[in-house]
Structure 1
Amino acid sequence: MSRTLTRVRAAYARIEATARPEIWIDLRPQEEVEAEARTLDERLARGEHLPLAGRLLAAKGNIDVAGLPTTAGCPAYAYQPAADAPAVARLRAAGALVLGTTNLDQFATGLVGTRSPHGAVRNAHDPARVSGGSSAGSAVAVALGIVDLALGTDTAGSGRVPAAFNGIVGIKPTRGLVPTEGVVPACASIDCVTVFARTLPEAEQALAHMASPPDRALPSLPARTPGPWRVAIPPREQLGELDEGWAEAYEAAVRQVRAAGAEVRTLDLTPFTEAAAMLYQGAFVAERYTAVGHFVDKLLAEGGEGLDPTVTGIITRARDIPAHQLYTDTEHLTALRTRALAELADADALLLPTTPGHPTLAEVAADPLGANARLGRFTNSTNLFDLAAVAVPAGQAGGLPFGVMLIGPAFTDERLARIAELLHPHTQLAVVGAHLSDQPLNPQLLALGAVLDRTTTTAPAYHLHALRTTPPKPGLVHVGDGGTEIEVEIWRLPAEGLGRLLTSLPRPMTLGSVQLTDGSSVPAFLCEPSALENAENITQHGGWRSYLNKH
């Protein structure tokens, strides 16, 4: 069986095992995706270059996927798209396989992931907490290891808040870099298509395939003087009230970028937070009525079945905003943007917590508008100011993922990713058995943000034994002379992920060092000598997969 087909079947098995139906609006039939996987293998065999071959993809339910209805989280709104949205089409052309469309805050209106007739999308790590919205299902599908990549949209922070809450990466590119055709708009003038992945390199690779040449003139960015990255942070008091432990987690992230060589300087956050409040409290929310208001009015007149009451209230209130307020707010926003860009002028990026905290489902139910507004304190202004952003994990707070984001001027997307790497020191791990791609324990690596780097072999100094364990796994042992080369996969994962993996490693497995055929050494799974009693020596097969294929 091909690796692509194996991955598809493993994904559908994981969907069933995770029992999270609220993630999805529509799933493609498994046999349909398997047929596409076989076609993909045939194309690869013919020598086609498909850099995303076999990567599994999900798309937010307001993004067109041919063959599936686009609902934007409202069943009565559904239509059948004639073609994939360009963002989807470009990923599929590179070899990605779409599994389905994901749940969202209805009409992409919210940062919580609970405003949907399909149910609240629970957090991947704590089901009592929100997953973050509006791109809720997409983020959780990635975090749970069901898909490799997922598309979201971001108007107020929907491509970043779910990333932070679920411990993954979310890239919100410069406006217009990824086409928004085939996307049900929230606020069409500032909407962005975003991408989620477990690692920054995966997210960047996907973005590179989705992006178009700029649809507008590149801005005249100030020439960057040589030297270390310059990262701006606000004074502590301007962050406002944070959840318990969040200030400490943010300060740890600041220390990490400083220790990595960045130059940290202070910035006045006031224009950013003042603009953030304007997104919903000012006239700009009127654009949400422009997008779907007439449909909402019509459905309300027919009884309103399937409409989320919080979303309905936001959209219908936007109908009555006077035109003069839009002009007043636009003038004010222009002044705030001028101040914000002046604050950023001598910095490469602004580093902020992605949100001030992480509410429970109950807290959001008790105060849906207040809880949502708090979550957008740091994210709402980004698109209003025409900035780029990337959200990345930065440790934990209170036992749950804590995330930060880096914000910079339009078209500094690549620069932001390079600075984000300062927060993500990686290590390598060699695996030989049950943690290999598509093997039973591989989801443990994926959940830690690991990404496959390469397949290689050990130095000719090892033996491989089939251990009597559940699930079945091999034991790799160093024997020196008389050994042979054994196939291994090399995975890159966050340094803290290796420590977490070690604490959960069951006997007889141990973590040691293995020498590769190129002479380098990397951490690897080995086994205790006592486990080799009555264990079959399978060295002659040259690797675990070869052994399994013959048994």
Structure 2
Amino acid sequence: MANTLGWTIGEWQRAYHTDSLNAADALQALRGALDPDDPAWIYILSSDELQQQIDELTTADEQPLYGIPFVLKDNIDAAGLPTTAACPTFAYTANKDATLVARLKAAGAILLAKTNLDQFATGLVGTRSPYGAVPNSFNPEYVSGGSSSGSAVAVARGLVPFSIGTDTAGSGRVPAGFNNIVGLKPTKGRFSINGVVPACKSLDCTSVFALTVEDAEAVAGIIEGFDPADGFSRKQPYPARLLPTQPRFGIPTDLPFFDDAEQEKAWRKTLNQLQQQGVELVPMDFSAMQTLAQLLYGGPWVAERHAAVGEFMHEHADKMNPVVRGIIDQAQNFSATDAYRAEYRRAELVRSIQQSMATVDALLVPTAPRLPTIAEVEADPVAVNSQLGTWTNFVNLADCSALALPAGMRDDGLPFGITLIGAAWQDTSLGEFGKRWQQSLKGTRGATGLALPTATTPDTPPQGHIRLAVVGAHLTGMPLNSQLTERQARLVETTHTSGDYRLFALPGTTPPKPGLVKAQDGKPIIVELWDMPIDQFGSFVALIPAPLGIGTLTLVDGRQVKGFICESLATTDAEDITEFGGWRAYINARRAS
């Protein structure tokens, strides 16, 4: 039997495609290895429950997640299984799958277990559960982070390649940072929350944990999409705008680390690494973000938590975690008038935050300012928890996307993590940079000690983009290049066409333009490849004058992309400049003469 510990989704898929792995054998063996006394689990599926899912698989060709195991935070419904939200008295048996669980199962993913959490998803520590505190995957004296503690630790240990959590105030990011894994916190409404026990329903997001950014994005592509059963679900209005090759990240000017010197040292080291890669770091005032963050637990949003579990709490307060109960009980301190006033204040702060964020490509923060021990949390559970939300609490209130990324190891052997924060619907742009950062870091997979897989350069443009070859006045530094950059297009590479094109200098064009024509006796011509958001492509094409147009070009390596072509008739009186090999060489030669 293959040792699947630490496998990525791609490694599971390759094993299935080569017939070296049998789904039933591998998954039943994996299930049998799960320790029922491990505090990461609240419910492990029985062998029969697991086999029922396996029997419903079709083929690896038909199902993109065929036979891929995952675990689920136990505030999310799976049909026929108990949902406890880490409160046994609250438990009920779900009569159907949450929307995202149904989408994962349809794609062939196999649920192994439901995971522990801070009760009612209220906490960032991973210790507020009657099922036990979930220890850090690197050192059991330290917290794992919450509330999605079990989901994060299961991935960090390499038991499953991905898991599902939730995120209201950072629950999908803090555990990622504490366990050396990726935490994808989507734009609110991108993933359905239908079938999720609410914490603050207007802010709640389901989230993805994975060993790699690629795996997190693969899962996101399965579970995303409008869900009419979720009143907060939204359709993405436009594709994400790619970050520049050398982006500008806004960082806080004032960073409290609460006496965690290792965390501060790791942050400084990370900033140096980013600068060496060409990232521009822009110190910014985060006071609006901090003020907004304080509204989450210091304002009437705690009443949303009461709206979710108030009736249960009225009847069973003694069955709740006392810290969680104390937080939710604060709801009685706020009136409906207070709620509206807070919402007005939130809107003002969000507008200020949006204006600040517009000056940079994304925000960059430590995922958490400190990594406390379990004993430190037990000694002061509310204050320490509040500290952990320093850079996470404002994000959902501000309608932002976020991606928590590993950033190497501290000198004491514990992991350090950073988080990129973007505007709404910038999820995939953060992921695209995250993949570059991950590759440069050359880190390990969670707590397994295994090296991250070597990434391959994708042959296709990012989601929501079209790859365009430009040959003349749109090249970098040429007069019409701004038509690309003002549409948030990004240069990918410089390459050549195949050897069957000829290039002509078209007469009477302003600014001067070439015409590229397919011909049997041609040669390779230099082109630049740019990725442009699809929603901007129509306005770009509208600017192209006859006899030019957009068609399909063949590149020297056989790839086909959209690019500039020219009507053959227009080259009758044009100068053949094919021998120059490209427009830039021709322009330089003409200037020299």
Q: Map 1:487-526 to 2 at 5 A.
A: none
Partner of 1:272: 289
Question: Is residue 403 of structure 1 aligned with residue 421 of structure 2?
Answer: no
Residue number among 433, 436, 441 corresponding to 1:422 in the alignment: 436
The answer as to whether partners of 2:242 and 2:429 remain within 8 angstroms in 1 is no
Partner of 2:209: 196
Instruction: Quote how far apart the aligned CAs of 1:265 are.
Output: 1.8
Structure 1 pair 51/227, CA: closer, same or farther in 2 (3 Å)? Answer: closer
Partner of 1:511: none
Distance (Å, rounded) in 1 between the aligned partners of 2:155 and 2:240 = 37
The answer as to whether partners of 1:105 and 1:112 remain within 8 angstroms in 2 is yes
Partner of 1:26: 43
How many residues align? The count is: 431
Instruction: Quote how far apart the aligned CAs of 1:55 are.
Output: 1.2
Partner of 1:146: 159
Distance (Å, rounded) in 2 between the aligned partners of 1:386 and 1:414 = 15
Distance (Å, rounded) in 2 between the aligned partners of 1:284 and 1:416 = 28
The answer as to whether partners of 1:389 and 1:406 remain within 8 angstroms in 2 is yes
Instruction: Quote how far apart the aligned CAs of 1:451 are.
Output: 4.9
Gaps of 5+ in 2: 2-20, 228-232, 457-593
Instruction: Quote how far apart the aligned CAs of 1:87 are.
Output: 1.0
The answer as to whether partners of 2:408 and 2:441 remain within 8 angstroms in 1 is no
Structure 1 pair 223/371, CA: closer, same or farther in 2 (3 Å)? Answer: closer
Partner of 1:312: 325
Partner of 1:291: 308
Residue number among 358, 365, 375 corresponding to 2:378 in the alignment: 365
- Amino acid of the residue matched to residue 293 of structure 1? G
Partner of 1:234: 252
Structure 1 pair 272/8, CA: closer, same or farther in 2 (3 Å)? Answer: same
Q: Map 1:375-524 to 2 at 5 A.
A: 375-397=388-410, 398-425=412-439, 447-448=449-450, 450-451=452-453
What SS does the aligned partner of 1:404 have?
Answer: strand
Distance (Å, rounded) in 2 between the aligned partners of 1:35 and 1:50 = 17
Distance (Å, rounded) in 1 between the aligned partners of 2:418 and 2:267 = 7
Instruction: Quote how far apart the aligned CAs of 1:444 are.
Output: 9.8
Distance (Å, rounded) in 1 between the aligned partners of 2:238 and 2:106 = 33
Q: Percent identity?
A: 42
Partner of 1:348: 361
Alignment deviations for residues 198-255 of structure 1 (CA, whole Å, 9 cap, x no partner)? 11111110011000049447568998896632211122x3445451121221122222
Instruction: Quote how far apart the aligned CAs of 1:393 are.
Output: 0.5
Distance (Å, rounded) in 1 between the aligned partners of 2:47 and 2:37 = 17
Residue number among 22, 44, 58 corresponding to 1:3 in the alignment: 22
What SS does the aligned partner of 1:22 have?
Answer: coil
Partner of 1:509: none
- Amino acid of the residue matched to residue 5 of structure 1? A
Q: Map 1:240-259 to 2 at 5 A.
A: 241=258, 243-259=260-276
The answer as to whether partners of 1:7 and 1:54 remain within 8 angstroms in 2 is no
The answer as to whether partners of 2:66 and 2:108 remain within 8 angstroms in 1 is yes
Between 344-353 and 325-334, report the one with greater CA deviation: 325-334
The answer as to whether partners of 1:69 and 1:80 remain within 8 angstroms in 2 is yes
Question: Is residue 97 of structure 1 aligned with residue 123 of structure 2?
Answer: no
Structure 1 pair 85/224, CA: closer, same or farther in 2 (3 Å)? Answer: closer
The answer as to whether partners of 2:361 and 2:422 remain within 8 angstroms in 1 is yes
Alignment deviations for residues 337-371 of structure 1 (CA, whole Å, 9 cap, x no partner)? 11111111021111100011011111111101001
The answer as to whether partners of 2:439 and 2:455 remain within 8 angstroms in 1 is no
Instruction: Quote how far apart the aligned CAs of 1:428 are.
Output: 9.7
What SS does the aligned partner of 2:370 have?
Answer: coil
What SS does the aligned partner of 1:157 have?
Answer: coil
The answer as to whether partners of 1:110 and 1:133 remain within 8 angstroms in 2 is yes
Structure 1 pair 427/339, CA: closer, same or farther in 2 (3 Å)? Answer: closer
Gaps of 5+ in 1: 430-441, 455-551
Residue number among 143, 149, 167 corresponding to 2:180 in the alignment: 167
Between 106-115 and 271-280, report the one with greater CA deviation: 271-280
What SS does the aligned partner of 2:215 have?
Answer: helix
Instruction: Quote how far apart the aligned CAs of 1:447 are.
Output: 4.8
Structure 1 pair 209/242, CA: closer, same or farther in 2 (3 Å)? Answer: farther
CA RMSD of aligned residues (A): 2.7
Distance (Å, rounded) in 2 between the aligned partners of 1:112 and 1:75 = 20
- Amino acid of the residue matched to residue 151 of structure 1? I
Partner of 1:120: 133
The answer as to whether partners of 2:180 and 2:447 remain within 8 angstroms in 1 is no
